[in-house]
Amino acid sequence: MKDKIKNKLLNIVKNGYETNADEFSNTRNYVWPELHTVITAVRNSYSCSEQQNVLDLGCGNGRLFELFRDTDVKYTGIDQSHNLIKLAQKKYPEAKFIQGDILNINKITDDKYDLILLIAVLPHIPSRELRLKLLKQIKNHLTPNGKFIIACWNLRARLKYKKLIWKYSILKLFGLNKMDFGDILFTGFAKKSERYYHAFTKKELQKLLEQAGFKIKKIYSDDKNIYATCTIK
C-alpha cells in the first residue's frame, strides 16, 4: 500500500472518532463481558503483592479503567482523539490519560508495563507494515513477564461485512481498489462519517503476532471478536 493511501486511511480513522466522540462514547459505556473475563483472568495470574503497571492503547473514553478502579493498579490510557481523552479525563479524573499517536509509543512513554491492552484498535491501522511496527513497539514496552491482550473485530463472521470484503477484493483484482486485501470502508457513526477497517482472520493475526516477537498463550474467536493473550518469546 502506498504511503498516500495509508495516510488517507489514518486520517479517516482519526477524523471519524474526533468528530463523533460523544456518539461513539455513548455506545461504549461498559466493558464487553468476554473482554472482562479475559482481562480479569490475566490480572489474577499476578501475585497480589505485585503492583501492576497497565497501558491501554487506543483507550477511547477510558471505559476499560472500570476493571482497575479501586485497585492499586497504575493505569495509563493513550488515544489520538483529543475529544475522547477529554471525556475519559472527565469521567475518570483519578486515572492518567494522554493524547498521542500510538504508532509512536516510544515518543510518548519510556515505561515498561506488566499488562498492555490493544482492544478494537489494530483493525484501524492500514498496512501490514504499520501494524507490525506497532506490535514491535508494544513488545518492547512489556516487562519480561508482562502480558499483552489484543482483540480485533471478527468482521468475517458477519454477513454484511463479508459482502463488503468480497466487494473490495473484487475491486482490488480489477485494479479499482488501492487498499490491501481484507480492507473495507463503510459509513458509520449514524452514517455521518466513513470508517476504515482491516478484516482479520485468526490465522493472519496469529502470524503477525509471532512475526512481531510474541509468544501466543491463547488465541480464539467468537462471533464478534478475535482474542489473543501473549507474552514475550
**Measured distance between the N- and C-terminal CA atoms of the chain, rounded to whole angstroms:** 29
**Mean pLDDT value across residues 214-229:** 96
Residue 1 contacts residue 180 (beta carbons within 8 Å):
yes
Does the pLDDT at position 65 exceed 90?
A: yes
Does the pLDDT at position 192 exceed 90?
A: no
26-52 residue pLDDT tens? 888 888 899 999 998 887 776 555 668
CATH of the domain spanning 3-155+200-232, picked from 3.40.366.10, 2.40.50.100, 3.40.50.150, 3.40.50.170:
3.40.50.150
What pLDDT was estimated at residue 190? Answer: 67
Residue 149 contacts residue 228 (beta carbons within 8 Å):
yes
Residue 207 contacts residue 132 (beta carbons within 8 Å):
no
Does the pLDDT at position 118 exceed 90?
A: yes
Between CA 220 and CA 188 the distance in angstroms is 27
pTM equals: 0.95
| Residue reference for cell 508495563 | 113
What is the residue-averaged pLDDT of the chain? 93
The residues near 48 (Cβ < 8 Å, ≥ 6 apart) are none
144-186 residue pLDDT tens? 999 999 999 999 999 999 999 999 999 999 999 999 999 999 9
What pLDDT was estimated at residue 186? Answer: 92
The x, y and z cell numbers of residue 35, run together, are: 473482554
What pLDDT was estimated at residue 90? Answer: 96
Between CA 125 and CA 6 the distance in angstroms is 8
Domain map (residue ranges) of the chain: 3-155+200-232
